[in-house]
Structure 1
Amino acid sequence: MPIYTDIADELYGPGRGTVPGGVKCYTARSGPITLTRVQISRPGLERPAGRYSTLEIPSLAVVDDKDEKYVSAVAGEVRALLPAVGPVLVVGVGNRRVTADALGPRSAGGVLVTRGLAPQNEAASLGLREVACVSPGASGATGIPLVQLLAGVVRAVKPAAILCIDSLCTSDPARLGRTVQISDTGLCPARPESGKCITRAMLGVPVLAVGIPTMMEADEAVGRPGFVITPRELDSVVKKGSNLLALAINKALQQKLSIAELCYLAN
């Protein structure tokens, strides 16, 4: 049976069996945070070629979403995959009306948008990077596929990179609401028919993705298709997870600002 997961280290990480050729894994622990990096260097595997960083932390339902050690850990992994300069387009992917799929739009709501606030030479003199942000919503509500909407935005903004935020699927219930994954492979869901696939090949610019697993397919457990498992504290996971991701993305993009300053400005 196929394993439906967006988390690369659930396929290739420590304890997952023989690692195929073209895949390298690295794991380190610092306090309550475990970092696993998976580098896939060839096509044809279950996840696209590229780099995946997975941070395991205590449950997002109970952590302090402004805790510097978690914010800085996520921000550091995001920053490492971003181009050093140039505008960044942040995209909140998902449906705000469905809690398990609302992580992207809610995170996007906390992103510090700097594009258009001041002439870019003034923003640059203040150490601010140009950031634009959109949350297109579900394609069923707009009638326009997500990638078509973003193609128009890309032509207008001309970003150096796109950073997508989305809810992820896991194959391990222990990962629900406890993991953050950052990748440079674009947004490539385990189920491509979801309509959320966004890649560099489609839009012509690098596409990063960051997300938290909020659901797990439960077909095998209940014997019926279409069932999913979510964390018991789903509301808290999405609320605190979106706050953490927004703050970490702001920190990755605006390195000269402190976490306190970012909290003030974003609100």
Structure 2
Amino acid sequence: MERSHLYKNLGIQLDMAVEAHDVLQQERQSNIAGVEMYKNKVGHSDITTVKITSPEGEEAMGKPMGNYVTIDAPHMKVNNRDIHQELSGLLAQELSKLLHLGPDDSVLVVGLGNWHATPDALGPKVVNHTMVTRHLHKFAPEELQGGLRSVSAIAPGVLGLTGIETAEIIKGVVEKINPTVIIAIDALATRSVERMATSLQIADTGITPGSGVGNRRVGINKETMGVPVIAIGVPTVVHAGVIAHEAIEMLLQQFHTSPSLYRLYKGLNPDSMQQIIEDVLEPFGRDLIMTPKEIDILIENTSRIIATGLAQALHPSISSSSEGLQYLQ
């Protein structure tokens, strides 16, 4: 069975553009019209840029037209200060390419997610470490602002905690403070166990909170907010159906080594794979998701990497060697 068909039937949304592209390309065995891909390697990281350039590509990918930059860094899991600083600098570089901020522009950082659920707490954690400076621009003399751009931050929580749509809270703040751009941080779902807490995606198309775990909310993008929205996400969970499918696929591949087993493999109904997965997941309404047992440490480290990268990208006077970043590390 094709992966895209299985994912659709199980209600699995691929948050990461690079994964959606890989699935489509493997199934079609050809390039995708209206979609461009570029790859680059910097230090310990691989950078993949997926650019959706037409409505045709938008429909095929199931994502809005725009730029999606993925930084794959397996060493992100390693508790190594030097590597984390390198990743923060790389994030700042890629983010700056999408922001195009002027010296007087202001930024609203939004930490999406549920601070009571560790795999979904990335956004609030980043806000905890974010260098906010709007109050300095509002109340301090210019000479004390120290080359810092006006940055404010909010962690609006989730509908289940507040009773208010996240987009409504953010829209109210935007109307009050009039930021030039919004940077939204959220946890993502992945189809690859290897990518959990080892990849970063930056997109200039905004974000739909909860889409990766089948809990889609109102989108946070330029159309709904009235200002550009840059989304930063890190995969922290993988759908159990994806893991089950990969395990069955690997088992079936082994059938090719034996003529008798291969005949059994050829006699299988492709739809039976989906039915088996659905039956296993039925007690959880097919919405079971998995996360690493050390997710609390991974979220803490990743949130500091992102917050440090934000500080470098947003404040002109800050570099990777600035002493002001020490508290973020």
Tell me the TM-score normalized by structure 2: 0.75
Q: Do structure 1's residue 81 and structure 2's residue 81 form an aligned pair? A: no
Secondary structure of residue in 1 paired with 2:205 = coil
Identify the range of structure 1 (40-49 vs 19-28) with the bigger mean alpha-carbon deviation: 40-49
* Distance in 1 separating the partners of 2:318 and 2:202: 22
- Residue 195 of structure 1 deviates from its aligned partner by 1.5
Higher relative contact order (CA 8 A, sep 6+): 1
Structure (1 or 2) with the larger CA radius of gyration: 2
Q: Is the partner of 1:116 in helix, strand or coil?
A: helix
1:49 partner amino acid:
M
What SS is found at the alignment partner of 1:117? helix
1:20 matches 2:36: no
Kindly state the Cα deviation for residue 14 of structure 1 after the two structures are TM-superposed. Answer: 9.8
Whether the aligned pair in 2 keeps the contact of 1:251 and 1:262 (CA below 8 Å) is: no
Contact 1:60 1:236 in 2 (8 A): no
1:173 aligns with 2:193: yes
Give SS of 1:256's match. Answer: coil
**TM superposition shift of 1:264:** 4.2
2:238 aligned to 216, 225, 245, which one?
216
Given candidates 31, 35, 55, the residue that maps to 2:71 is: 55
* Number of matched pairs: 267
Q: Deviations over 1:215-249 (max 9, x none)?
A: 01113526301111212421121010111011111
In structure 1, the partner of 2:301 is 240
* Cα pair distance change 1:266/1:71, threshold 3 Å: closer
Alpha-carbon RMSD across the aligned residues, in angstroms, is 2.3
Alignment of 1:62-101 (within 5 A): 62-64=78-80, 67-85=84-102, 86-101=105-120
Deviation at 1:60, TM superposition (A): 3.0
Which AA in structure 1 matches 2:99?
L
**Higher percent of residues as helix:** 2
1:7-46 matched pairs, under 5 angstroms: 7-13=16-22, 16-17=25-26, 18-43=30-55, 44-45=59-60, 46=62
Matched residue of 1:60: which SS?
helix
Residue 20 of structure 1 aligns to a residue in which SS?
coil
CA displacement at 1:15 relative to structure 2? 9.6
Q: Which runs of 5+ in 2 are unaligned?
A: 1-5, 245-276
**Cα distance, 1:257 vs. partner?**
1.3
1:202 to 216, 220, 224: 224
Residue in structure 1 matched with residue 171 of structure 2 by the alignment? 151
Q: Distance in 2 between matches of 1:196 and 1:262?
A: 36
CA distance in 2, matches of 1:40, 1:179: 20
Deviations 1:75-123 (A, max 9, x none): 1111111132211100000001101100000011111101012448717
CA shift in 2, pair 1:123/1:151, >3 Å: farther
Partner of 2:155: 135
Confirm or deny: 8 A CA contact 2:147 2:315 kept in the other structure. Answer: yes
The CA distance in 2 between the partners of 1:124 and 1:16, in whole Å, is 53
Cα shift at 1:138: 1.4
Question: 8 Å contact 1:112–1:265 — kept in the other structure?
Answer: no
Find the aligned partners of 2:325 and 2:117 in 1 and give their Cα distance: 26
Distance across 1 between alignment mates of 2:239 and 2:124? 22
Give the drift of 1:174: 1.2
Q: Distance in 1 between matches of 2:293 and 2:191?
A: 16
Query: CA separation in 1, counterparts of 2:93 and 2:190?
Result: 23
Report the equivalent of 1:4.
Answer: 13
Distance 1:124 1:25 in 2: 44
Secondary structure, counterpart of 2:149 in structure 1: coil
Tell me which residue corresponds to 2:265.
Answer: none
Whether the 8 Å contact between 1:83 and 1:160 is mirrored in structure 2 is: no
- Are 2:317 and 1:256 aligned? yes
Amino acid at match of 2:110: V
